[in-house]
Amino acid sequence: MFIDSAKIMVKAGDGGDGAVSFHREKYVAAGGPDGGDGGRGGNIYFQVDDNLSTLADFRYKRKYVAPNGNRGGASRSSGKRGEDLIIRVPRGTLVKDAETGRLLADLSTDEPQLIARGGNGGWGNSHFATPTRQAPRFAKPGMPGESFELQLELKLLADVGLVGYPNVGKSTLVSVISEAKPTIANYHFTTITPVLGVVRLGEGNSFVVADIPGLIEGAGEGVGLGFQFLRHVERCRMLVHIVDVSGSEGRDPKEDFHIINQELKKFNADLAQRPMLVAGNKCDLATEEQIADFKKFVEEQGYEFFPIMAAIRYQVDPLLNRIAEMLSKLPPVKRFEPEAAPVVPAEEVGRQEVKVTNQDGVFVVEGEWLLQLIRSINFDDYESVQYFQRVLISSGVIDALREAGIQEGDTVSIYEIEFDFVE
C-alpha cells in the first residue's frame, strides 16, 4: 500500500535527576557533597532508508519515545545517558511540526537529522557547595526532552515527472524506457500510485522518471487521484506532458493540454514555470492532419513537441535525448530548507505563569514555557542574552523573584542556567 503522509508523536528522553549524596568514608570527617549529575535523555533522529518506499509503517505505530537518562549516583558518578532513537523513513520525506506547519527537515540526503533533543541531566548537589553552603541537600531535576506532533509527507525525488490525463500512455512509456513495471491496462486510473523508473542512456548518463497517476479537471481542488499525488511533481526538475494526440477517448487534445496545465498552476504556481516538453502519444491512431495541427498548437505556446508511439517505442529516443540534454543544464532536484522557529519580540511576551522556590538560598524558577525559551537562546551571543533578559522582565519573572524576597547577589536557577541576581 502506498502511503505518502502520516502523523506521529515523538518524545525525546528526559534527563536523569541529579543525586543528593554525601561522601562517607572511614577516617574522613565531613566528606562533603558528592552527588553526581543525571544522564542526558536520548535524542530522536530521522534517517533515510532506501529500502523503504512509503510511510505505511507509521499507520501502525504512531508514538516514538527515546529512553530517559539515568539518575546520578554517589561519588560524583554521572548517570548513564539515554540511547538515541533513530526513525527510518523513505528518501524525500519532509518532517513538519503538525501544529504550526513549520518544516523541520527534508530527508533527501544520507545525513541523519536531529528532530527532538533529549533533556539535559540535572546537576547533583556537589555543584551547589559554596563556602557559605557547605552541605546542600538539594539537586536539580533532569530537564524534559522535546516532544512534537509531526506531520510526515513523502515527496518523491525524480528528475522528470510525467503528467497528463488517465490512459494517455504514461505507464507504457515508463515501462519501455526503464526497468519499472507499472500496471498497464485499457481503463482509467490503472496507475493508482506513483512509479519511479531509472532511464539509462549510457555510462554515467541516467535520470529518474516518475509516472504520476492521471490528473483530471479539478485535481487542484481534490477531484480524482491527481490531487493526492501532485505533491510528487513538486521536486521534479522538469515535466513531460503526455497527450493522446488522436483523441481516442473522445476528448480534445488541446483542451486536455490546457486543463492539465491549469491544474498544475492551481496546485503550485511554480509548476507552471517548470521546463516542459510535450509528447503526443498514440500517433498511430491519429491522422497526419491531427498531428500537424496539435504540433502547431503546442509550438505556438513555446513548447517542443515530440510525436511518439510509446507501445512500440517509436520516436521515443529523440525525446529521451532531449530530456537528457535539458537536465544537464538544470539545477539539481529541489530540496526544501528547514524553517527557523519564529522569534517573538521580547516586549511582546506577556506575563507568564512561573513558580519560584527558595532552596537554601538558591531561587529556583520553574515554568514549562521557560524550557522552550532556554532552548532558543545562544548564551555565547551577547544579543541573544540581552533578549533573554528582556523576556524575563516582560514575562514577570523578575517581579516574581522580588516577591519571593531575592536580594542582589543571590543565585537564580532556571533549569540548566544559573546567574547572580543584579538589580
For residue 345, CA distances in Å to 101, 385, 392 come to: 21, 13, 12
Residues 151 and 2 in one domain: yes
**Which of 301, 327, 353 finishes a domain?**
327
Residues 26 and 144 in one domain: yes
Question: Residue 93: what residue type?
Answer: T
The CATH number for 406's domain is 3.30.300.350
**Which of 132, 155, 178 finishes a domain?**
155
Is residue 191 a part of any domain in this protein? yes
The CATH number for 312's domain is 3.40.50.300
User: d(Cα 143, Cα 318) in Å, to the nearest integer?
Assistant: 62
Residues 31 and 89 in one domain: yes
End-to-end CA distance of the chain: 63
**Which of 155, 171, 202 finishes a domain?**
155
pLDDT on residue 180:
66
User: d(Cα 179, Cα 197) in Å, to the nearest integer?
Assistant: 6
pLDDT on residue 333:
84
User: d(Cα 390, Cα 296) in Å, to the nearest integer?
Assistant: 66
Is residue 213 a part of any domain in this protein? yes
Residue with cell 531535576: 141
Residues 141 and 181 in one domain: no
The stretches in the chain having pLDDT less than 50 are: 1, 184-192, 216-226
Residues 135 and 169 in one domain: no
Alpha-helix runs per DSSP H in 57-204: 170-177
Residues 122 and 257 in one domain: no
Residues 133 and 173 in one domain: no
Residue 304 CB burial class (10 angstroms; 0-12, 13-18, ≥19): middle
User: d(Cα 80, Cα 63) in Å, to the nearest integer?
Assistant: 24
Residues 178 and 305 in one domain: yes
For the stretch 59-77, pLDDT in tens is 889 999 999 999 999 989 9
Residues 132 and 190 in one domain: no
Question: Residue 89: what residue type?
Answer: V
Q: Could you tell me which residues come within 8 angstroms of residue 331 by beta carbon, excluding any fewer than 6 positions away?
A: 237
Torsion region of 193: left, alpha or beta (phi above 0 gives left; psi -120 to 50 gives alpha) = beta
User: d(Cα 155, Cα 335) in Å, to the nearest integer?
Assistant: 10
Is residue 338 a part of any domain in this protein? no
Residue with cell 536531529: 114
Residue with cell 533515510: 48
Is residue 193 a part of any domain in this protein? yes
pLDDT on residue 227:
52
Is residue 332 a part of any domain in this protein? no
Residues 14 and 78 in one domain: yes
pLDDT on residue 215:
60
256 neighbors 280 (Cβ within 8 angstroms) = no
The CATH number for 9's domain is 2.70.210.12
Residues in the chain: 423
pLDDT on residue 185:
44
Residues 282 and 406 in one domain: no
**Number of domains within the chain:** 3
Query: What DSSP letter does each residue of 169-233 carry, written as one string?
Result: SHHHHHHHHSS------SSTT---S-EEEEEEEETTEEEEEEEPPPP-TTGGGT-TTHHHHGGGG
For the stretch 356-366, pLDDT in tens is 998 878 898 98
Computed from CA positions of residues 406, 352, 395, 122, in that sequence, does the dihedral angle turn out positive or negative?
Answer: positive
With b for 16 or more beta-carbon neighbours within 10 A and e for fewer, the 361-391 pattern comes to ebbbbebeebbebbebeeeeeeeeeebbeeb
Is residue 124 a part of any domain in this protein? yes
User: d(Cα 87, Cα 131) in Å, to the nearest integer?
Assistant: 48
Residue 391, SS3 per DSSP:
helix
Residues 180 and 320 in one domain: yes
User: 234 is in which domain, residue-wise?
Assistant: 160-327
pLDDT on residue 24:
83
Is residue 340 a part of any domain in this protein? no
Question: Residue 420: what residue type?
Answer: D
Is residue 201 a part of any domain in this protein? yes
